[in-house]
């Protein structure tokens, strides 16, 4: 049943390329599923032992059935084999046939494009929900007769807590049951809690519904990269990954623009009804047109069919990992948290990015209040203010792409993960400069275009820091990079939810000038940290390698 690879060297090269791509996509569930899971030495031993036990049980069942005449004669004499490292020579191992139409890599181009478009739309809509609600917060607080500034901030940022919790559960579920069923379940859950937000009778209920919206909305961010890797070979994957990546970048920026006009015209509840309409339509489209792309699930379906047709209970998938559901959850939950606790480099990156991410959500929760109270913007137009952050983010991404590529090319064969940090100091400097300008120009009511231009600097600094550190994490932790990024996501999402709770109180106590200056001073104190990470990052990387965790 197994089809041998063209050659050992070619297979090893392709496997390494696939692992590299998995690393670049940011989560354990993003490993291209044509190679199954990537395990360390201990995990591989566990896998081999589990497969051997499975085969022994199936062999015992086959012998019992053969004695009863339930199995074809040629299957009677099968003995329980021991799991072999070389699956290509085991006749009971099932692999794809040549040009197998069930293999996602062999799907027609239009099918791949349709699947990619649907997933990319998901990665735009769910991050949209994180900020589209921000311009309507003042209406909400008035309706619920609350002047609690912490709650006003938390009702926006609690969504990000869901983004922290969701991937730790959703990613292992997709490795067990496949991509599609997880998408369906999460899409339905997301729509249900959006309806709950739209109908929320109290502020506390709205906060709970927002949290679970974030949990279910994190699904495409966890698994979208893996879906694309399932279908598209590495050399043609860049365009699809670019389309997939732009959604989380633009969604939080476009959200307040649309939400501002809608909240001004129809009220804050209609912001959620719009999300229900968008997500409901997309959910129906995914039910109708999306296809399962996860190779282990598809290959297991083929195994199940062949077992029924041949009666050979010893057949098993070449991608059978032998891992139990508990094993998958340990891989996705325990390892990232251990890295966050015991890897100095991972801790340093997590702290730096978490503060920057918290700053971003302070902006999301405070900008609407600042520009309505200080500059007289109404609910409809205040969302346009966020375009400054959007322009800055796009400019920062362009700057990082150019500078990072230049640094890696200059290093050549001597390239190290630390070379990915070449643009980090520039981003670290832009951040405090932007906050100083924003604070004092808003304090003295300088024309509104000036503080918006300061947002461009803040957006640039934010995305440069994010991109450079995340890519350095990817290069540093190789096959463990997915767990490192998951750990980083948990830390930054907690900061993103908690720091804004103090933002409006800080502005109330210190004013816009000194309040933003406090943020700028902290960011300025972090600038030497950027240079220290570049200088000593290699020492931390080599002194505390991942194998010691």
For 177-186, what is each residue's pLDDT tens digit? 888 999 999 9
Q: What is the pLDDT of residue 353?
A: 86
Distance CA 77, CA 492 (A): 57
The residue with greater pLDDT, 411 or 339, is 339
DSSP states of 491-504? HHHHHHHHTHHHHH
Q: What is the pLDDT of residue 80?
A: 31
Mean local confidence (pLDDT), 423-431 = 91
Cross-strand partners of 93: 316
Q: What is the pLDDT of residue 329?
A: 75
Distance CA 117, CA 115 (A): 6
**Backbone φ and ψ of 375, nearest 5°:** -115, 0
Q: Which two tokens stand for residue 330?
A: 């340990």
Distance CA 110, CA 285 (A): 15
Q: What is the pLDDT of residue 383?
A: 75
pLDDT band of 548, cuts 50, 70, 90: very low
Mean local confidence (pLDDT), 55-70 = 51
Distance CA 338, CA 343 (A): 8
Torsion of CA 406, 407, 409, 411, to 10 degrees: 160
Q: What is the pLDDT of residue 85?
A: 45
Distance CA 399, CA 88 (A): 46
For 468-479, what is each residue's pLDDT tens digit? 887 777 667 655
Q: What is the pLDDT of residue 156?
A: 82
Q: What is the pLDDT of residue 60?
A: 58
Lowest mean pLDDT among 41-50, 144-153, 272-281, 538-547: 41-50
What angle do the packed helices 344-373 and 424-443 form, to 10 degrees?
20
pLDDT band of 192, cuts 50, 70, 90: very high
pLDDT band of 228, cuts 50, 70, 90: confident
Q: What is the pLDDT of residue 26?
A: 40
- What is the chain's mean pLDDT, rounded? 77
The residue with greater pLDDT, 72 or 303, is 303
Across 187-196, 227-236, 397-406, which has the greatest mean pLDDT? 187-196
**If 0-12 CB within 10 Å is exposed, 13-18 middle and 19+ buried, where does residue 489 land?**
buried
- Compute CA distances 277 → 122, 217, 284, whole Å: 13, 15, 11
Distance CA 143, CA 33 (A): 49
Domain 334-549, what fold? Growth Hormone; Chain: A; (1.20.1250)
Domain(s) labelled CATH 1.20.1250.20 in the chain stretch across 334-549
pTM beyond 0.75, yes or no: no
**Position of tokens 């909400």?**
140
The answer to whether residue 289 scores a pLDDT higher than 50 is yes
For 326-378, what is each residue's pLDDT tens digit? 777 777 677 777 878 888 888 888 888 888 888 887 887 778 778 888 888 88
Mean local confidence (pLDDT), 291-305 = 86
pLDDT band of 173, cuts 50, 70, 90: confident
The answer to whether 488 and 337 have CB atoms below 8 angstroms apart is no
The answer to whether 313 and 65 have CB atoms below 8 angstroms apart is yes
């Amino acid at each position: 049943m197994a089809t041998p690879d063209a050659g050992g060297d070619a297979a090893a090269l392709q496997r390494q390329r696939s692992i590299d791509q998995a690393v670049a996509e940011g989560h354990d569930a993003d490993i291209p599923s044509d190679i199954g899971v990537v395990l360390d030495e201990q995990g591989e031993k566990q896998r081999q032992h589990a497969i051997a036990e499975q085969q022994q049980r199936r062999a015992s069942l086959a012998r019992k059935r053969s004695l009863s005449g339930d199995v074809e004669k040629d299957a009677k004499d099968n003995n329980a084999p021991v799991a072999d490292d070389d699956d290509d020579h085991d006749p009971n191992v099932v692999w794809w046939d040549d040009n197998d139409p069930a293999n996602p890599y062999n799907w027609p181009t239009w099918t791949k494009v349709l699947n990619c478009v649907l997933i990319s739309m998901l990665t735009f809509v769910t991050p949209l929900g994180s900020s589209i609600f921000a311009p309507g917060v003042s209406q909400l607080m008035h309706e619920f007769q609350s002047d609690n500034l912490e709650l006003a901030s938390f009702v926006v940022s609690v969504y990000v807590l869901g983004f922290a919790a969701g991937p730790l559960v959703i990613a292992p579920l997709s490795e067990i049951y496949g991509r599609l069923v997880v998408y369906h379940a999460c899409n339905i859950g997301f729509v249900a809690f959006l309806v709950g937000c739209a109908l929320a009778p109290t502020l506390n209920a709205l906060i709970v519904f927002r949290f679970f919206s974030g949990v279910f909305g994190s699904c495409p961010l966890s698994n979208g990269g893996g879906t694309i890797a399932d279908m598209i070979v590495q050399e043609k994957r860049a365009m699809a990954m670019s389309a997939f990546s732009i959604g989380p970048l633009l969604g939080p920026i476009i959200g307040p623009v649309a939400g501002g006009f809608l909240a001004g015209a129809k009220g804050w509840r209609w912001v959620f009804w719009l999300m229900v309409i968008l997500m409901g339509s997309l959910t129906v489209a995914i039910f109708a047109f999306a296809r399962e792309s996860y190779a282990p699930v598809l290959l297991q379906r083929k195994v199940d069919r062949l077992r029924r047709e041949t009666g050979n209970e010893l057949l098993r998938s070449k991608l059978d990992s032998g891992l139990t559901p508990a094993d998958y959850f340990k891989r996705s939950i325990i390892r990232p948290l251990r890295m966050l606790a015991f890897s100095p480099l991972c801790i340093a990156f997590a702290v730096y990015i978490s503060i920057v991410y918290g700053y971003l959500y302070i902006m999301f929760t405070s900008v609407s209040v600042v520009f309505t109270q200080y500059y007289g913007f109404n609910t409809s137009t205040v969302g346009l203010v966020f375009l400054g952050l959007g322009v800055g983010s796009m400019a920062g991404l362009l700057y990082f792409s150019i500078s990072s590529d230049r640094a890696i090319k200059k290093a050549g064969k001597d390239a190290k993960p630390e070379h990915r940090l070449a643009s980090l100091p520039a981003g670290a400097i832009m951040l405090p400069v932007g906050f100083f300008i924003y604070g004092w120009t808003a304090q003295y009511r300088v024309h509104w275009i000036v503080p918006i231009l300061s947002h461009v600097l803040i957006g640039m600094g934010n995305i440069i820091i994010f991109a450079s550190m995340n890519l350095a994490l990817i290069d540093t932790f190789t096959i463990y990079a997915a767990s490192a990024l998951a750990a980083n996501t948990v830390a930054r999402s907690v900061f993103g939810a908690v720091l804004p709770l103090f933002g409006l109180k800080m502005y109330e106590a210190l004013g816009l000038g000194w309040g933003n200056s406090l943020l700028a001073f902290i960011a300025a104190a972090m600038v030497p940290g950027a240079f220290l990470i570049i200088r000593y990052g290699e020492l931390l990387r080599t002194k505390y390698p991942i194998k010691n965790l």
